[in-house]
Amino acid sequence: MLIYLRILKESFSFAVNALKNNKLRTFLSLLGVTIGIFSIIGVLAAVDSLQKNISDNLSVLDKSTIYLFNRSFGPTEIPRWKVQQFPKVTWEEYQRLERSVPDMQAITYTMFVGSEAIRHEGQVVDNARVTPVTEVFPQIERLQFDSGRFFNGSESMAGAPVVIIGYEIAENLFGNGQSAIGKKVRMYGQRLTVIGVLKKEGTSFFGDSADTKAYIPVVFMRKILGDNNNTAFPAMILKPEKGVDQAAFVAMLKQKMRQIRGLKPDEIDNFFVNQFSGFTDFIDGIIGTMQIIGGIISSFSLLVGGFGIANIMFVSVKERTNLIGIQKSLGAKNRFILLQFLFEGVILAVIGGAVGLILVWITSLIASGFTESFEFILSPANIIFGTFVSVFIGLIAGIIPAISASRLDPVEAIRTGM
């Protein structure tokens, strides 16, 4: 055992000295592996960061949340021209589903509308994202209040002129330290009373932060825009009771909606039941595809680095043929020569890989500093993977030159090297 440890130690020392004596060659070899590891780990880290940031931003909504309206979240086999003919969901359909669908925790009617300016005594916030909903919306989406409350059932049904605003809107309209509760703002040419201010959320990856949102009763919006306005897209948002089988609930929901619309058995659904879990699965599929494609593309850089090491190793064997002959004539075993060159290749690859990982880490820190909405991460799994890949590349690139060096005949090696 001690003999093998001594062989490993001596082989390692020979490899390190060879790398020190050929600094330019070592640098060029390191550069190829560094670029390769930087590319492949950089892609993996970027995809992991993307996945984490998307997951964090989607965690606000429960995965059981369902959107029912005339558009699909993801790809569909139905032709686009036919989808455009699907009727919009109506307030009456919402009321019938509210009364007839069992095992439902909450259902709200909403309208996707454009941004709107909010005014207060000369202060204006442009592009506030208005979300008209009913009073049960906080049961579907988690809202945290800095002050005030959400509108109640009577305010919702009456279409009361009340509004809940995001933290950023409140700051821009009323300034620091001034309470927004009870103050009047103007929207859609109407005066609305602020009854709630949401806690600060910060910038979201999707740009969907509640800081720039305004929630109003959907009945109030219906009074302003009407039910046939082409600029508004009505929808229903549902959340089943906990523990309810999602597939069975969706099937029952589709059946109820078909009955309400009087669709015949041979007619397709003219609406879409968009499951939030399905949307996240769709996003995960896209991310997985990006990871595979990015990994394949980056692997070419790593392959170039591997060829660079192999090429340098063959040159190293050629230059040290005379030394190899002398070593073998003095009793050096084939395995000693083999390990000597193999270590040289592995050391090159590991150092190059380590530099590549450090560059990825530095890049992630710089990139994270430029944006609050996206955090770049270099996970321990990617660090371990990068190290493993470096060692693997060093072994593969160095094995053939090392074998060829270990099999040299000492007499021929000395004569060739003279």
Tell me: the pLDDT tens digits for 59-76? 555 667 889 998 887 778
How would residue 122 be classed by pLDDT, with cut points 50, 70 and 90? confident
357-to-194, 288, 297, 395, 403 alpha-carbon distances in Å: 51, 22, 18, 19, 30
How would residue 92 be classed by pLDDT, with cut points 50, 70 and 90? very high
* 222 shares its domain with 144: yes
How would residue 197 be classed by pLDDT, with cut points 50, 70 and 90? very high
Query: How many helices (DSSP H) and strands (DSSP E) are in the chain?
Result: 14, 11
How would residue 222 be classed by pLDDT, with cut points 50, 70 and 90? very high
- Taking alpha carbons only, the member of 414, 404, 385 closest to residue 345 is 404
Show Cβ contacts of residue 190 under 8 Å, excluding neighbours closer than 6 positions: 161, 224
How would residue 283 be classed by pLDDT, with cut points 50, 70 and 90? low
In a domain, 70, yes or no: no
Helix pair angle (321-329, 276-319), 10° resolution: 70
> What distance in Å separates the CA atoms of residue 122 and residue 101, rounded to the nearest whole number?
47
* 194 shares its domain with 332: no
Q: Based on C-alpha coordinates, what's the Rg of the chain?
A: 33
How would residue 252 be classed by pLDDT, with cut points 50, 70 and 90? very high
Sequential DSSP letters for 275-329: EHHHHHHHHHHHHHHHHHHHHHHHHHHHHHHHHHHHHHHHHHHHHTHHHHHHHHH
Mean pLDDT of 168-189: 87
pLDDT reported for residue 127? 85
- Taking alpha carbons only, the member of 288, 141, 300, 118 closest to residue 212 is 118
* 292 shares its domain with 248: no
The two tokens of residue 135 are 């009073």
The two tokens of residue 5 are 């440890």
- Taking alpha carbons only, the member of 205, 274, 195 closest to residue 233 is 274
pLDDT reported for residue 219? 94
Task: Say if residues 177 and 146 touch (Cβ distance below 8 Å).
Answer: no
> What distance in Å separates the CA atoms of residue 23 and residue 31, rounded to the nearest whole number?
12
* 329 shares its domain with 201: no
pLDDT reported for residue 302? 67
Residue 130: pLDDT above 90?
yes
In a domain, 151, yes or no: yes
Residue 418: pLDDT above 90?
no
Q: What is the pTM of this model?
A: 0.61
Q: What percent of the chain has pLDDT over 70?
A: 75
* 91 shares its domain with 224: yes
- Domain closes at, from 243, 270, 297: 270
* 125 shares its domain with 252: yes
pLDDT reported for residue 54? 67
Q: Comparing 5-9, 40-44, 295-299, which segment has the lowest mean pLDDT?
A: 5-9
Classify the C-alpha dihedral 373-123-143-131 as positive or negative. Answer: negative
CA angle, 409 then 412 then 414, to 5°: 105
Cross-strand bridge partners of residue 119: 124, 186
* 309 shares its domain with 237: no
* 316 shares its domain with 389: yes
> What distance in Å separates the CA atoms of residue 136 and residue 51, rounded to the nearest whole number?
30
Residue 160: pLDDT above 90?
yes
User: Greater confidence, 403 or 269?
Assistant: 269
Mean pLDDT of 105-115: 92
User: Greater confidence, 59 or 188?
Assistant: 188
> What distance in Å separates the CA atoms of residue 171 and residue 180, rounded to the nearest whole number?
9
Residue 263: pLDDT above 70?
yes
User: Greater confidence, 292 or 104?
Assistant: 104
Mean pLDDT of 81-107: 91
> What distance in Å separates the CA atoms of residue 213 and residue 216, rounded to the nearest whole number?
10
In a domain, 78, yes or no: no
* 103 shares its domain with 214: yes
Residue 81: pLDDT above 80?
yes
User: Greater confidence, 32 or 138?
Assistant: 138
* 105 shares its domain with 46: no
pLDDT reported for residue 108? 95
Backbone torsions φ then ψ of 381, nearest 5 degrees: -60, -40
247-251, 307-311, 362-366, 371-375: which has the highest mean pLDDT? 247-251
Average pLDDT over the chain reads 80
Strands 190-198 and 162-165: parallel
Q: Comparing 232-236, 241-245, 298-302, which segment has the lowest mean pLDDT?
A: 298-302
User: How much of the chain is in helix, strand and coil states, percent to nearest 5?
Assistant: 55, 15, 25
Query: What is the span of the domain harbouring residue 26?
Result: 7-58+282-417
Q: Comparing 121-130, 140-149, 241-250, 269-278, which segment has the lowest mean pLDDT?
A: 269-278
> What distance in Å separates the CA atoms of residue 300 and residue 295, rounded to the nearest whole number?
9
Task: Say if residues 131 and 110 touch (Cβ distance below 8 Å).
Answer: yes
In a domain, 81, yes or no: no
In a domain, 74, yes or no: no
H/E segment holding residue 148: strand 145-148
User: Greater confidence, 270 or 343?
Assistant: 270
In a domain, 348, yes or no: yes
* 182 shares its domain with 292: no
- Domain closes at, from 223, 239, 270: 270
Cross-strand bridge partners of residue 275: 66
- Domain closes at, from 205, 239, 270: 270
In a domain, 218, yes or no: yes
Q: Comparing 48-52, 129-133, 247-251, which segment has the lowest mean pLDDT?
A: 48-52
How would residue 109 be classed by pLDDT, with cut points 50, 70 and 90? very high
* 103 shares its domain with 247: yes
The two tokens of residue 382 are 């990617």
Mean pLDDT of 42-70: 73
Q: How many domains does the chain have?
A: 2
**What's the CA dihedral at 249, 262, 272, 116 to 10 degrees?**
-110
pLDDT reported for residue 221? 93
pLDDT reported for residue 254? 92
In a domain, 49, yes or no: yes
Q: What is the DSSP letter of 141?
A: B
pLDDT reported for residue 61? 52
- Taking alpha carbons only, the member of 277, 268, 238, 271 closest to residue 102 is 238
